[in-house]
Each structure stands twice: as C-alpha cells, then as structure tokens.
Chain A
Amino acid sequence: MTAAYVYPKYPFRLPGGVVPGAGEARAPLVVVGAGPIGLAAAIDAAQRGQEVVLLDDDDTVSVGSRGLCYAKRTIEILDRLGAGDAVVAKGVTWNTGRVFHRDDEIYHFDLLDAPGHQRPGMVNLQQYYLEEFLADRAAALPQVTLCWKNRVAAARADADGATLDVETPTGGYRLRADWLIVADGARSPVRKMLGLDAEGRVFNDRFLIADVAMHADFPAERWFWFDPPFHRGQSVLLHRQADDIWRIDFQLGWNADPEAEKRPEHVIPRIRAMLDHQGYQDIDFSLEWVSVYTFQCRRMLHFRHGRVLFAGDAAHQVSPFGARGANSGIQDVDNLIWKLDLVMRGKAPAALLDSYDAERTAAADENILNSARSTDFITPKSPVALRYRDATLQLASRHAFARALVNSGRLSAPTHYWDSTLCSPDRDRFDCLLRPGSPLDDAPIERDGRPGWLLQQLADGFTLLLFTDRPESLGSALAELAPLGAGAVPARCVVVSEQPGTLPGVVVLHDAQHFAAERYDAQEGTTYLVRPDQHIAARWRRPDAAAVRAALTRACGH
C-alpha cells in the first residue's frame, strides 16, 4: 500500500512592492485562482516574458481527486508549459473500457492510440498532482509571483483594467491590474463581484465520488455500469488513478441526502457490494476521500469583458462525463495567452482577444453539447428515454452499430476552429481531416538523425511548416520566406522533408516514417502557417510570401 498523499503547504507572500495599507500597487497582468487553469495561464504568460502576479485564497492544492482524466491535446499543451513529462510519468495510461448493463458486461473497447503520436489518448491523474506539478513549474519561473493566501475581496473593472482589494494574513492592499485573468473556478467569486453570470442548464442529480485505495491487484481499466444489481436504477463509473487509488462515481439521484451519503457507513457497503459483484470478494480497500456533487452545464455569454478575461470553470461548466472540464480550461489558456501577449506588447490590436471569446465560447458550446448528451443518455429523464437507452444497451452486446449510440461520456477532444475569423480559407485543394482552424496532428520525425516529435519542434510564436522531398530543392522559396522570421510578429520556418538533409540556419525535420506528409496531405512545396497554440491558420500548395504575410496579419486580429 502506498502512503496517503501529503498536501504541500505553500508559503504566503505579497506581490512585489506591495505594502499593506500604503496606497495602490500596480501590475501589468494579474491572474486570480491558482488551480490548474490559473497556474497554466501564469506559466504560459511568464514563458512569453510577461510579469505575472498570481493570487490564490488558499495555500495548497485541491483536496480529493476531482478532475482526473487528461486528454492527449491537454498533455501536448502541458508539454509546452513544462509539465507534460511529470503528468505522464505519474499518471495512469489506460486503454481498456468495459461497459456493463445490469448483470452483464455488454462490450469492451480498446482505446488504441493512433500510431505516430508522442502522447497517449488519455492519462488519469488526481487533480492535486497536476496542480502540484504546475505550482512547481510556476515557482521555477522568476516572472511569476505566486501569492498564496491572497484573497480577492472586491473587484471593479473599467476600460483600462481592473482594481482588486486583496486580503492577506498581514493586512489588505489594493492592486491595479492592466489585464486580469479570472480563473477562480465554478463559483467564481470574482465573476460575481464584477456582476457577471453564467447561464445554462442545471441537472437535478447528485453523484457520490470516492477515492479508494485498493490493497491488491486490480485491473487498470475504465468500468461503466448502467443499472447494476449493486446500485439499482443508477450508474457507476470506476477509474484507476495514480498511487493505487481508484476513483468511483456513484449516481445517487436528486433525492439523496448528501450528508448521509458521505458517511463511511454508507459509502463502504456500496463499494463492498460493487467489488463482491465483480468477483473481488478478497480485495480489501480503504476510503481516502468522499464527496457529493451536483453539476450544471452553463457558460458566460462572453469570456472577454474589456481587459478582464475569464477561463476554465469560471467561464464555463460542463457535466463530468467526458472529462471536458479541466481539459477545456487548459485549452482556454492555450488559446488566450499568445493573443494577450501580442496585445500587451502592442503587436496586435485588442480585437485579437475577441477571437478568444469567439473560439472558446464555441468550444464551450461543443463541450456542453457533448457532456449534456452523455448525461441525458446515462440518466434518462423520461420513460421514453429510458426505453431507448435500454434498447440501445441490449442491442449493443450483439451489434456494433448500437455501441456507437451508447454514450457513457465522449472523451475530451480539441475544438477545430473552422469558423474562426483568424483562419484564411483554403484557396488550394487539400484532402485531409485537418483544415485551417484545426489543431496540428503530431507525427514522429527525426532531427539531426535523432528521433523526436513534430509538435516539439514548433516555435513559441508562429511557425511556417514547409514540406519538401529534399531540403535543397526549397532554395528560392526559403529565401523569400526567411524575412518573415524577423518581422514584428515572426513566423519561423521549419522544413519537413521526405529525404534527410540540412539547410543553413533552418530546422530540417526528416519525415522518415511519412506520417507528417500523410497527415497534412503534403506535396512538394505545401506550406502550413501554424499559430502559437499549434492550430492551423492557413495553408497553400506553393509557398507565397505575400499570401503568408496576409494570413499572418489576419491571424493577429487585424
């Protein structure tokens, strides 16, 4: 048995230059909330050279597992933020999912990873570990001032920024922020202080979450039960996490008494019954953490309010099915910070931030749609819905078509911003799933004879991916595009070549296994302009400096 998780205790401090009670301090960028989203935002901004003040009312990570599945795209973003390796090393990669209906397993599936990606489809890890890894990373960045035990008590926004009244163990102070990122979670005190709300649908249901340590071998699989004999009429979900901790979610129904349900004398028999039913009578377990939650699917009408930007659960909430909460919050950050950095440096108009609002409200709608549909399938709201669900489950044990309709959660996948105003529409013909607005698809490559991955070779800013058969044949095209690497908003050339080779002053990636050319439907001269968040801005069959310049301008919100 592994020892229980020890919650770190982070030191209290004030932002630099702040003396409680002595006038107003000023900061170019303040982030409220040091959960995974606020920490990721602070790290991303600091990596781009911005000074960030991060305020949090607590001095440790979140209690209990809470968020627990991290999707491939999120891990790719965490790679960029310097926390991907830690998450994958500590987390549990799972492949097999089993779906049960009443007494029987009706089918199982293998999340076979598509070949040629560095990161797995899904990694399970308790949220407290993710927060700890991100807090460690943030603490290592001198541009981040991590202020634990600094509680925002009042907030006002105006055209030039926001003013925060902050309370601390050593007294209060007033902080003036030129830009404010609000990432203080679903209840978002700061959102309420600013008089803003999130609207949507409340699901009248309660779920019990238990973190359970199993004292024996137990499979690392995702199990989902519809109407099991040990918990009649409800659903149950089981997932493996790090440290031999399993996470179990029991649907309780709206009429359950949350306080009574949380008591060990109620929880332990439920878990025992589940294990016994699955044939694990011999397995001993202990309860690490229990909570009861309800959820809503809702979002703010806009995520940008002048110089105040909302991200993560503060901006949008989804039902837990599909792991679309923390994953979409990390993707908010990925979308927001490069834009905010360009605007703060005067290299892009403030209107670029309206594209954050447009792209991420669309993503929130997609996540809400998917998670609400999962919830409707899992917890039918009418006799008709129950009949269709049971019919689907009965057919699913025999017929693959019905398995496509079984919806126990559609696991988080990135939004393709196909309708974004930042994208330049294709004028050439491409035949692949990727389009302007899509996130890049990873591919194995070699650089200087060493194996690596495409996504790790991209610039922090914009990247021009140039595909060719052999590097030397790019000659004049490269000379024409090279000046783009030195503009106010540079786009650095990266050559992806079918044959190995080198070019002076340019990164050349050898597409030895042909994954990249295939995924990008690339031919000689195919050129992709990639945004700093690794989404495609534009692409062409032939590199054309004037067209690239125009697309770059467009992608910067001009």
Chain B
Amino acid sequence: MELILEPHFADPGYPSPYSHLAADAFYAELLQAHDGLSPEQSAMLDAKLVLLLANQVGDLGVLRAALRAVREDIEPERVAQCRIPDLAGSRGT
C-alpha cells in the first residue's frame, strides 16, 4: 500500500453527485469536534486523533511516508536530517 495523496474522501452510505461534499463534511465535523475546547484540549484532541487514525492505517510504511510528507512540508530543507526511516525501513532493515 502507498500513501494516498490524491483526494480519497467518500461517503458510501450517502452517495452524492457532488464529490466535494464528503471532503467538506469531514472538515466541518473535524472543526465541530474542537468546538468549545481550550487550546490544550484541542491539541490533545488532535494528538489522539492522529494516533487513532494511525492505528486505522496500520501499515508502518504508509505511516512513515505520511510523516515524511508533513515534515517536508513544514521544513523542506531539513527533512533529510530528521530521523524518519524511508520505506525501506519498513521492510525490516
């Protein structure tokens, strides 16, 4: 399995002719989940959400690719130095 970087949101229970609806619904509900929380609570919610979704993904190779992608997005010049194993790492080296 590879990290999916193309749009992949779907709502199979409620099919719609408009593909943006599932992505927009997720985004709106994500923010609703944060409603009324303190900054610390919000950060904790995000951290727990990442852990939960990471378990859903499961595949360590995919998770490492995701970590690299976001680290690269925030700090492209230093991504080579940060210690995220590449895909080969997941094959047991």
Q: List the interface of chain A (C-beta within 8 A of B).
A: 370, 373, 376-377, 382-385, 388, 392, 394-395, 398-401, 403-405, 407, 410, 413, 416, 433, 438
Interface: B54 (CB within 8 A):
no
CB pair B31 A388 closer than 8 Å: yes
CB of B17 within 8 A of CB of A401, answer no
In the bound complex, CA of A401 to CA of B23 (Å): 9
**Cβ-defined partner of B17 (8 Å) among A385, A395, A433:** A433
**C-alpha spacing A400/B30, complex, angstroms:** 20
- Which of A392, A398, A399 has the most chain B CB atoms inside 10 A of its CB? A399
Residues of B within 8 A of A377 (CB): 27
Whether A416 touches B17, Cβ cut-off 8 Å, given contacts A376-B28, A388-B31, A407-B24, is yes
18 sampled A-B residue pairs with Cβ under 8 A: A373-B27, A384-B37, A388-B31, A394-B74, A395-B70, A395-B73, A398-B69, A398-B73, A399-B69, A400-B6, A401-B4, A401-B6, A401-B8, A405-B24, A407-B27, A410-B20, A410-B24, A416-B17
| Chain B hits for A382, CB < 8 A | 31, 34
Interchain nearest-CB distance for B72 vs A (Å)? 8
Which partner residue on chain A sits nearest B69 by CB separation?
A: A399
Point out which of A370, A384, A407 has the most chain B C-beta atoms below 10 A from its C-beta.
Answer: A384
Tally of A-B residue pairs with Cβ under 8 A? 61
Q: Supply 20 further A-B pairs (C-beta < 8 A) apart from A388-B27, A401-B5, A438-B17.
A: A373-B24, A373-B27, A377-B27, A382-B34, A383-B39, A384-B31, A384-B37, A384-B42, A385-B34, A395-B73, A398-B69, A398-B73, A399-B73, A401-B4, A404-B7, A404-B23, A407-B27, A410-B24, A413-B18, A433-B17
**Most chain B C-beta atoms within 10 Å of own C-beta, residue among A383, A395, A404:** A404
Query: What is the interface residue range for chain B against chain A?
Result: 20 to 34
Contacting pair A405 B27 (CB below 8 A): yes
Interface of chain A: mostly helix, strand, loop or mixed: helix
Question: Of B19, B23, B69, B74, which is within 8 A of A405 by CB?
Answer: B23
- Min CB distance B36 to A, Å, is 10
Cβ contact of A399, chosen from B5, B26, B37, cutoff 8 A: B5
Shortest beta-carbon distance from B63 to chain A in Å: 16
Across the interface, name the chain A residue whose C-beta is closest to B23. Answer: A404
**CB neighbours of B42 from chain A (8 A):** 383-384
For B39, what are the chain A residues with a Cβ–Cβ distance below 8 Å? Answer: 383-384
Chain A residues contacting B69 (CB-CB under 8 Å) are 398-399
